[in-house]
Protein backbone atom coordinates (compact mmCIF):
# COMPACT_ATOMS: atom_id res chain seq x y z
CA UNK A 1 0.00 0.00 0.00
CA UNK A 2 1.78 3.09 -1.30
CA UNK A 3 0.11 5.57 1.09
CA UNK A 4 1.19 3.63 4.17
CA UNK A 5 4.70 3.22 2.74
CA UNK A 6 5.04 6.92 1.99
CA UNK A 7 3.72 7.92 5.40
CA UNK A 8 5.87 5.52 7.42
CA UNK A 9 9.03 6.13 5.36
CA UNK A 10 8.80 9.91 5.69
CA UNK A 11 7.85 9.66 9.36
CA UNK A 12 11.14 7.83 9.97
CA UNK A 13 13.00 10.45 7.92
CA UNK A 14 11.31 13.22 9.94
CA UNK A 15 12.32 11.57 13.22
CA UNK A 16 15.97 11.22 12.20
CA UNK A 17 16.52 14.43 10.28
CA UNK A 18 19.17 16.09 12.42
CA UNK A 19 21.93 18.29 11.13
CA UNK A 20 20.46 21.12 9.10
CA UNK A 21 19.21 21.45 5.56
CA UNK A 22 21.24 18.58 4.14
CA UNK A 23 20.93 16.29 7.16
CA UNK A 24 17.95 14.41 5.74
CA UNK A 25 19.36 13.84 2.26
CA UNK A 26 21.26 10.62 3.08
CA UNK A 27 18.09 9.22 4.69
CA UNK A 28 15.91 10.28 1.77
CA UNK A 29 18.33 8.81 -0.78
CA UNK A 30 18.51 5.53 1.12
CA UNK A 31 14.70 5.37 1.27
CA UNK A 32 13.90 6.25 -2.35
CA UNK A 33 16.51 3.82 -3.68
CA UNK A 34 15.27 1.03 -1.42
CA UNK A 35 11.64 1.45 -2.51
CA UNK A 36 12.68 2.18 -6.10
CA UNK A 37 10.67 5.43 -6.07
CA UNK A 38 13.14 7.65 -7.91
CA UNK A 39 16.73 7.18 -9.13
CA UNK A 40 19.87 9.17 -8.29
CA UNK A 41 19.56 11.30 -11.42
CA UNK A 42 16.09 12.54 -10.58
CA UNK A 43 17.02 12.96 -6.91
CA UNK A 44 20.01 15.12 -7.87
CA UNK A 45 18.06 17.61 -9.91
CA UNK A 46 15.21 17.67 -7.41
CA UNK A 47 17.73 18.61 -4.70
CA UNK A 48 18.79 21.49 -6.96
CA UNK A 49 15.15 22.43 -7.63
CA UNK A 50 14.47 22.34 -3.87
CA UNK A 51 17.39 24.70 -3.30
CA UNK A 52 15.93 27.13 -5.81
CA UNK A 53 12.33 27.02 -4.59
CA UNK A 54 11.01 28.22 -1.23
CA UNK A 55 10.87 26.01 1.84
CA UNK A 56 13.04 23.47 3.63
CA UNK A 57 14.67 20.95 1.26
CA UNK A 58 13.36 17.83 3.04
CA UNK A 59 9.79 19.16 2.93
CA UNK A 60 10.13 19.90 -0.79
CA UNK A 61 11.52 16.44 -1.48
CA UNK A 62 8.72 14.80 0.53
CA UNK A 63 6.09 16.70 -1.47
CA UNK A 64 7.74 15.86 -4.79
CA UNK A 65 8.26 12.16 -4.07
CA UNK A 66 4.75 11.82 -2.63
CA UNK A 67 3.21 13.47 -5.69
CA UNK A 68 5.17 11.45 -8.24
CA UNK A 69 4.37 8.16 -6.48
CA UNK A 70 0.74 8.66 -5.45
CA UNK A 71 -0.58 12.04 -6.63
CA UNK A 72 -1.91 14.84 -4.46
CA UNK A 73 -2.88 12.65 -1.51
CA UNK A 74 0.55 11.02 -1.58
CA UNK A 75 2.19 14.46 -1.53
CA UNK A 76 -0.03 15.48 1.37
CA UNK A 77 0.75 12.36 3.42
CA UNK A 78 4.51 12.44 2.79
CA UNK A 79 4.69 16.14 3.71
CA UNK A 80 2.59 15.64 6.83
CA UNK A 81 4.73 12.69 7.92
CA UNK A 82 8.03 14.51 7.45
CA UNK A 83 6.85 17.56 9.43
CA UNK A 84 5.02 15.69 12.20
CA UNK A 85 8.04 14.71 14.37
CA UNK A 86 9.46 18.26 14.59
CA UNK A 87 5.97 19.55 15.34
CA UNK A 88 5.44 17.08 18.19
CA UNK A 89 8.94 17.60 19.60
CA UNK A 90 8.44 21.37 19.89
CA UNK A 91 5.01 20.98 21.51
CA UNK A 92 6.53 18.66 24.09
CA UNK A 93 9.74 20.66 24.50
CA UNK A 94 8.20 24.11 24.75
CA UNK A 95 6.61 23.17 28.06
CA UNK A 96 10.01 22.16 29.40
CA UNK A 97 12.16 24.57 27.45
CA UNK A 98 15.02 25.12 29.84
CA UNK A 99 15.30 21.63 31.25
CA UNK A 100 15.45 20.25 27.73
CA UNK A 101 18.54 22.23 26.69
CA UNK A 102 20.43 20.93 29.72
CA UNK A 103 19.66 17.26 29.21
CA UNK A 104 23.08 15.61 29.38
CA UNK A 105 21.99 12.42 27.60
CA UNK A 106 20.65 14.40 24.69
CA UNK A 107 23.76 16.55 24.51
CA UNK A 108 26.14 13.62 24.61
CA UNK A 109 24.06 11.79 21.98
CA UNK A 110 24.37 14.87 19.76
CA UNK A 111 28.16 14.77 20.19
CA UNK A 112 28.17 11.35 18.62
CA UNK A 113 25.48 12.15 16.08
CA UNK A 114 26.94 15.32 14.56
CA UNK A 115 30.20 13.82 13.26
CA UNK A 116 28.27 10.81 11.93
CA UNK A 117 25.93 13.11 9.99
CA UNK A 118 28.88 15.04 8.54
CA UNK A 119 30.37 11.73 7.38
CA UNK A 120 27.23 10.37 5.73
CA UNK A 121 26.42 13.70 4.05
CA UNK A 122 29.92 13.73 2.55
CA UNK A 123 29.43 10.13 1.40
CA UNK A 124 26.18 11.00 -0.41
CA UNK A 125 27.74 14.11 -1.98
CA UNK A 126 30.62 12.03 -3.30
CA UNK A 127 28.35 9.25 -4.55
CA UNK A 128 26.03 11.61 -6.41
CA UNK A 129 28.98 13.55 -7.88
CA UNK A 130 30.74 10.39 -9.04
CA UNK A 131 27.53 9.12 -10.65
CA UNK A 132 27.35 12.29 -12.75
CA UNK A 133 30.94 11.91 -13.93
CA UNK A 134 29.98 9.64 -16.84
CA UNK A 135 32.14 11.09 -19.63
CA UNK A 136 34.95 13.58 -20.24
CA UNK A 137 32.56 16.49 -20.69
CA UNK A 138 30.69 15.79 -17.44
CA UNK A 139 33.93 15.35 -15.50
CA UNK A 140 35.24 18.63 -16.91
CA UNK A 141 32.01 20.39 -15.89
CA UNK A 142 32.32 18.87 -12.41
CA UNK A 143 35.89 20.19 -12.12
CA UNK A 144 34.91 23.70 -13.26
CA UNK A 145 31.88 23.86 -10.95
CA UNK A 146 33.84 22.48 -7.98
CA UNK A 147 36.47 25.16 -8.61
CA UNK A 148 33.82 27.90 -8.56
CA UNK A 149 32.01 26.55 -5.50
CA UNK A 150 35.10 26.15 -3.33
CA UNK A 151 37.05 29.21 -4.52
CA UNK A 152 34.32 31.87 -4.42
CA UNK A 153 31.72 32.69 -1.80
CA UNK A 154 28.51 32.11 -3.72
CA UNK A 155 24.87 31.44 -2.79
CA UNK A 156 23.44 28.02 -3.70
CA UNK A 157 20.82 29.55 -5.99
CA UNK A 158 23.39 31.56 -7.98
CA UNK A 159 25.59 28.48 -8.17
CA UNK A 160 22.70 26.43 -9.59
CA UNK A 161 21.95 29.13 -12.18
CA UNK A 162 25.62 29.13 -13.25
CA UNK A 163 25.57 25.33 -13.49
CA UNK A 164 22.48 25.50 -15.73
CA UNK A 165 24.24 27.93 -18.09
CA UNK A 166 27.33 25.74 -18.08
CA UNK A 167 25.15 22.75 -18.99
CA UNK A 168 23.74 24.58 -22.03
CA UNK A 169 27.13 25.96 -23.12
CA UNK A 170 28.82 22.57 -22.77
CA UNK A 171 26.21 21.03 -25.06
CA UNK A 172 26.70 23.78 -27.66
CA UNK A 173 30.48 23.41 -27.62
CA UNK A 174 30.51 19.68 -28.08
CA UNK B 1 -13.73 34.29 18.99
CA UNK B 2 -13.41 37.21 16.60
CA UNK B 3 -10.01 37.98 18.16
CA UNK B 4 -8.97 34.35 17.84
CA UNK B 5 -9.90 34.24 14.19
CA UNK B 6 -7.89 37.30 13.32
CA UNK B 7 -4.91 35.95 15.29
CA UNK B 8 -5.19 32.63 13.43
CA UNK B 9 -5.32 34.48 10.12
CA UNK B 10 -2.36 36.62 11.12
CA UNK B 11 -0.32 33.56 12.17
CA UNK B 12 -1.12 31.72 8.96
CA UNK B 13 -0.41 34.64 6.64
CA UNK B 14 2.78 35.69 8.41
CA UNK B 15 4.26 32.20 8.30
CA UNK B 16 3.05 31.67 4.74
CA UNK B 17 4.93 34.84 3.80
CA UNK B 18 8.07 33.58 5.56
CA UNK B 19 7.65 30.21 3.85
CA UNK B 20 7.19 31.76 0.42
CA UNK B 21 10.17 34.07 0.48
CA UNK B 22 12.81 31.84 2.03
CA UNK B 23 14.94 29.93 -0.39
CA UNK B 24 17.22 27.06 0.53
CA UNK B 25 15.63 26.81 3.96
CA UNK B 26 17.54 26.55 7.19
CA UNK B 27 19.37 29.51 8.54
CA UNK B 28 18.11 31.96 5.93
CA UNK B 29 14.73 31.51 7.56
CA UNK B 30 15.91 32.42 11.03
CA UNK B 31 16.53 36.04 10.10
CA UNK B 32 13.11 36.25 8.41
CA UNK B 33 11.42 34.79 11.49
CA UNK B 34 13.40 37.16 13.69
CA UNK B 35 12.25 40.14 11.60
CA UNK B 36 8.56 39.21 11.61
CA UNK B 37 7.99 37.42 14.91
CA UNK B 38 10.38 39.30 17.17
CA UNK B 39 10.67 42.78 15.70
CA UNK B 40 7.45 43.61 13.88
CA UNK B 41 4.80 41.39 15.54
CA UNK B 42 6.49 41.01 18.94
CA UNK B 43 5.07 37.50 19.29
CA UNK B 44 8.22 36.20 20.98
CA UNK B 45 11.31 37.80 22.51
CA UNK B 46 14.80 37.61 21.08
CA UNK B 47 15.82 35.31 23.97
CA UNK B 48 12.97 32.91 23.23
CA UNK B 49 14.02 32.89 19.59
CA UNK B 50 17.55 31.92 20.67
CA UNK B 51 16.21 29.11 22.89
CA UNK B 52 14.10 27.72 20.06
CA UNK B 53 17.12 27.81 17.75
CA UNK B 54 19.17 25.86 20.30
CA UNK B 55 16.37 23.31 20.77
CA UNK B 56 15.98 23.05 17.00
CA UNK B 57 19.62 22.11 16.65
CA UNK B 58 19.28 19.06 18.86
CA UNK B 59 15.83 17.96 17.70
CA UNK B 60 14.83 16.57 14.32
CA UNK B 61 13.32 18.63 11.56
CA UNK B 62 13.89 21.90 9.75
CA UNK B 63 14.48 24.83 12.07
CA UNK B 64 11.76 26.86 10.36
CA UNK B 65 9.13 24.25 11.23
CA UNK B 66 10.29 24.21 14.84
CA UNK B 67 10.05 28.00 15.08
CA UNK B 68 6.60 28.14 13.50
CA UNK B 69 5.27 25.45 15.84
CA UNK B 70 6.73 27.21 18.88
CA UNK B 71 5.39 30.67 18.02
CA UNK B 72 1.96 29.32 17.07
CA UNK B 73 1.71 27.32 20.29
CA UNK B 74 2.75 30.26 22.43
CA UNK B 75 0.26 32.66 20.86
CA UNK B 76 -2.75 30.41 20.38
CA UNK B 77 -2.20 26.94 21.87
CA UNK B 78 -2.42 23.72 19.88
CA UNK B 79 -4.62 25.18 17.13
CA UNK B 80 -2.16 28.06 16.76
CA UNK B 81 0.72 25.59 16.43
CA UNK B 82 -1.13 23.70 13.70
CA UNK B 83 -2.04 26.88 11.82
CA UNK B 84 1.45 28.43 11.97
CA UNK B 85 3.06 25.15 10.86
CA UNK B 86 0.56 24.75 8.01
CA UNK B 87 1.31 28.34 7.04
CA UNK B 88 5.04 27.83 6.71
CA UNK B 89 4.71 24.57 4.75
CA UNK B 90 1.84 25.66 2.47
CA UNK B 91 3.74 27.81 -0.09
CA UNK B 92 6.49 25.27 -0.77
CA UNK B 93 3.92 22.47 -0.94
CA UNK B 94 2.02 24.30 -3.69
CA UNK B 95 5.19 25.32 -5.56
CA UNK B 96 6.57 21.76 -5.58
CA UNK B 97 3.20 20.31 -6.65
CA UNK B 98 3.23 22.65 -9.65
CA UNK B 99 6.89 21.92 -10.40
CA UNK B 100 6.37 18.17 -10.29
CA UNK B 101 3.36 18.36 -12.61
CA UNK B 102 5.32 20.27 -15.23
CA UNK B 103 8.85 18.95 -14.78
CA UNK B 104 8.49 15.91 -17.03
CA UNK B 105 7.18 18.10 -19.84
CA UNK B 106 9.95 20.64 -19.30
CA UNK B 107 12.54 17.92 -19.65
CA UNK B 108 11.45 17.33 -23.26
CA UNK B 109 12.61 20.84 -24.14
CA UNK B 110 16.20 20.37 -25.31
CA UNK B 111 17.67 23.48 -23.73
CA UNK B 112 16.08 22.69 -20.35
CA UNK B 113 17.44 19.13 -20.44
CA UNK B 114 20.89 20.54 -21.26
CA UNK B 115 20.65 23.01 -18.37
CA UNK B 116 19.73 20.19 -16.02
CA UNK B 117 22.84 18.25 -17.08
CA UNK B 118 24.76 21.03 -15.29
CA UNK B 119 22.29 21.39 -12.43
CA UNK B 120 22.57 17.71 -11.49
CA UNK B 121 26.31 18.15 -11.06
CA UNK B 122 25.76 21.25 -8.94
CA UNK B 123 23.53 19.33 -6.51
CA UNK B 124 26.21 16.75 -5.65
CA UNK B 125 28.81 19.47 -5.19
CA UNK B 126 26.54 21.52 -2.92
CA UNK B 127 26.13 18.46 -0.71
CA UNK B 128 29.90 17.98 -0.52
CA UNK B 129 30.27 21.67 0.36
CA UNK B 130 27.65 21.37 3.12
CA UNK B 131 29.57 18.44 4.63
CA UNK B 132 32.89 20.29 4.37
CA UNK B 133 31.34 23.30 6.12
CA UNK B 134 30.17 21.01 8.92
CA UNK B 135 33.73 19.67 9.34
CA UNK B 136 35.21 23.16 9.46
CA UNK B 137 32.74 24.45 12.04
CA UNK B 138 32.78 21.35 14.23
CA UNK B 139 34.98 21.39 17.32
CA UNK B 140 36.04 17.77 17.41
CA UNK B 141 38.18 15.39 19.41
CA UNK B 142 39.83 12.19 18.18
CA UNK B 143 36.81 10.01 18.86
CA UNK B 144 34.59 12.33 16.85
CA UNK B 145 37.08 12.37 13.98
CA UNK B 146 36.98 8.58 14.07
CA UNK B 147 33.17 8.67 13.89
CA UNK B 148 33.35 10.95 10.83
CA UNK B 149 35.81 8.67 9.04
CA UNK B 150 34.07 5.41 9.89
CA UNK B 151 30.61 6.65 8.91
CA UNK B 152 32.06 7.96 5.65
CA UNK B 153 33.87 4.69 4.97
CA UNK B 154 30.90 2.47 5.87
CA UNK B 155 28.55 4.52 3.69
CA UNK B 156 30.86 4.40 0.69
CA UNK B 157 32.04 0.81 0.97
CA UNK B 158 29.04 -1.25 2.08
CA UNK B 159 26.24 1.30 1.60
CA UNK B 160 25.48 1.14 5.31
CA UNK B 161 22.01 2.43 6.21
CA UNK B 162 22.29 6.09 7.31
CA UNK B 163 19.56 5.60 9.92
CA UNK B 164 21.47 2.70 11.47
CA UNK B 165 24.76 4.65 11.49
CA UNK B 166 23.05 7.60 13.16
CA UNK B 167 21.43 5.50 15.86
CA UNK B 168 24.72 3.72 16.62
CA UNK B 169 26.60 7.04 16.77
CA UNK B 170 24.01 8.60 19.07
CA UNK B 171 24.24 5.63 21.45
CA UNK B 172 28.04 5.73 21.25
CA UNK B 173 27.86 9.45 22.06
CA UNK B 174 25.86 8.78 25.21
CA UNK B 175 28.39 6.22 26.45
CA UNK B 176 31.56 8.05 25.39
CA UNK B 177 30.76 11.70 26.06
CA UNK B 178 28.41 11.55 29.02
CA UNK B 179 29.62 13.88 31.77
CA UNK B 180 32.33 15.38 29.56
CA UNK B 181 32.47 19.01 28.53
Question: Cβ of A22: how many Cβ atoms within 10 Å?
Answer: 27
State residue A72's pLDDT score: 96
Helical ranges in chain A per DSSP H? 2-16, 25-35, 40-52, 57-93, 97-101, 104-132, 136-151, 156-173
CA distance A12 to A35: 14
Confidence check: pLDDT of A95 > 70: no
The C-alpha atoms of residue B160 and residue B50 are separated, in whole angstroms, by 35
3-state secondary structure of B23: strand
SS3 (DSSP) at A54: strand
Q: Which of A15, A170, A171 sits opposite B60 (nearest CB)?
A: A15
Nearest-angstrom CA–CA distance, A112 and B111 = 45
**CB distance A74 to A6 below 8 Å:** yes
Q: How confident is the model at residue B32 (pLDDT cuts 50, 70, 90)?
A: confident
ipTM of this predicted structure: 0.89
Q: What is the pLDDT of residue A32?
A: 96
Q: How confident is the model at residue A91 (pLDDT cuts 50, 70, 90)?
A: confident
pLDDT band at B35 (very low <50, low <70, confident <90, very high): confident
Whether pLDDT at B178 is above 80: no
The pTM of the full predicted model, rounded to 2 decimals, is: 0.88
Residue of B43, B86, B96 to mutate for A, most A C-beta atoms under 10 A: B96
Distance CA B31, CA B34 (A): 5
pLDDT band at B171 (very low <50, low <70, confident <90, very high): very high
Q: What is the mean pLDDT of chain A?
A: 90
| The pLDDT of residue A21 | 74
Mean pLDDT, chain B, rounded, equals: 88
Max distance between CA atoms of chain B, in angstroms, equals 60
Q: Give me the mean pLDDT over the B121-132 stretch.
A: 92
B171 to chain A: closest CA residue: A109
Q: Which whole number is the average pLDDT over B39-62?
A: 84
- A70-93 average pLDDT score: 93
Q: Which residues 34-73 of B are in CB contact (within 8 Å) with A?
A: 51-52, 54-55, 57-66, 69-70, 73
Residues of chain B with C-beta less than 8 angstroms from the C-beta of A156: 24, 126
**What's the pLDDT band for A84 if we cut at 50, 70, 90?**
very high
Query: Do A38 and B78 meet the contact criterion of CB atoms below 8 Å apart?
Result: no
pLDDT of residue A38: 94
Whether B25 shows a pLDDT value over 60: the answer reads no
Chain B positions in Cβ-Cβ contact with residue A116 (cut-off 8 Å): 147-148, 151, 165-166, 168-170
Amino acid sequence: MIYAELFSAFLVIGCLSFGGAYGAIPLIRDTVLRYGWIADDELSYMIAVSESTPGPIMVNLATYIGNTQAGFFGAFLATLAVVLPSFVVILVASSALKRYGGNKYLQSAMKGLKPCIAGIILAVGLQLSMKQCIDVRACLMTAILAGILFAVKISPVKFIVISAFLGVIANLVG
Amino acid sequence: MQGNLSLFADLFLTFAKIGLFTFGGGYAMISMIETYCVESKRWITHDEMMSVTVIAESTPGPIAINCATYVGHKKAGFAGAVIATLGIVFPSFIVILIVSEFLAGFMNITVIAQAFSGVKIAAGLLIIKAAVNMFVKMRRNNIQSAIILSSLALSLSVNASPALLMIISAIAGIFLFRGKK
